[in-house]
Amino acid sequence: MKLHLNGEFVTQNIFSIYGDRSPDTQADERQALRKRIPTELLEDGSRDCLLGILAGILECGTMTWNRHFEKPRAVIRFGTSSHDFVTSFDRLAHRLGLRISITTTAPRNQSRVTYTVSPSVPDLWRLGRDLHFATNEAREYWQEFLDQERPRDLHDIIPIMREDALHIMWSSFAGERNYSIAATARRIGSVTRLSAEHLAEGQPRDIYPQLFAALDADNILWERINGFNRTKSSALITTEKSR
């Protein structure tokens, strides 16, 4: 069942779906530009609640197929002009272990900046039947989506030990392509899954057990850490996992 509640007074007395108006906000600015996912739900909502929010957002966006390939490819995305909404959706995705990509389109003439948000298709596939949609059209699409062969995650991040990367660089198996990939892995400690698969071609498992273990563990979401700041010994460190 999907219930629409109209009127700002009603929605704000349940949960605020709009960010605060900043001092430099234009008087005629549309409220849609400040739309967001209610903070109360993002922070305290159960996993079922968060999955319901995700399903509603996807259903209001684009769920279609790119059939210009031998096998149809799922296209799932939505657009918005609200930076607050993008920020809160990023938080929602983090809670659910979902990666997203964000494309920003500069304004033209009287238009405003727009954002196209594309959740990771392999990550959505992993959610499987935990997502429930309201309309028949969305349910039929999702069933077809789940009936497809599991999408390969070629751009997943695979960690590689720098010692292994150095060894592969000078290995007799390494051609020009693999030398370049291994050099990148040695520098930053990881490469995409597709690149890691190239490195693993022809390599013995007993020599590079960590590399093959990381490739086999497709249920783990590896993520690069761009940096860290030192803190005082009294600083409190908290961790969080998806509910």
0.85 exceeded by the pTM?
A: no
* pLDDT at residue 112, as a whole number: 83
Residue 100: strand, helix, or coil: strand
* pLDDT at residue 22, as a whole number: 47
* pLDDT at residue 193, as a whole number: 82
Q: Which two three-digit tokens encode residue 1? A: 């069942």
Are 64 and 56 in contact by the 8 Å Cβ rule? The answer is no
* pLDDT at residue 174, as a whole number: 54
Cα-to-chain-centroid distance, residue 171: 35
* pLDDT at residue 158, as a whole number: 82
The tens digit of pLDDT for each residue in 37-78 reads 988 888 888 999 999 999 999 999 999 998 887 788 899 999
Q: How far apart are CA 190 and CA 159, in angstroms?
A: 4
What are the structural domains, with CATH classification, of the chain? Answer: 32-147 (3.10.28.10), 157-216 (no CATH)
The tens digit of pLDDT for each residue in 74-128 reads 999 999 999 999 999 999 998 998 888 888 988 887 678 899 999 988 889 989 8
Q: Which of 63-67, 68-72, 200-204, 236-240 has the lowest mean pLDDT?
A: 236-240
Q: Beta 62-66 vs 73-80: how paired, if at all? A: antiparallel
* pLDDT at residue 226, as a whole number: 60
Q: Which of 8-17, 127-136, 164-173, 221-230 has the lowest mean pLDDT?
A: 8-17
- pLDDT beyond 50 at 157: yes
126-142 mean pLDDT: 93
C-alpha angle 206/210/213, rounded to 5°? 90
Phi, psi dihedral angles at 114 (to 5 degrees):
-120, 150
Q: Output 8-17 pairs: Cβ under 8 A, ≥24 positions apart.
A: 15/40, 15/41
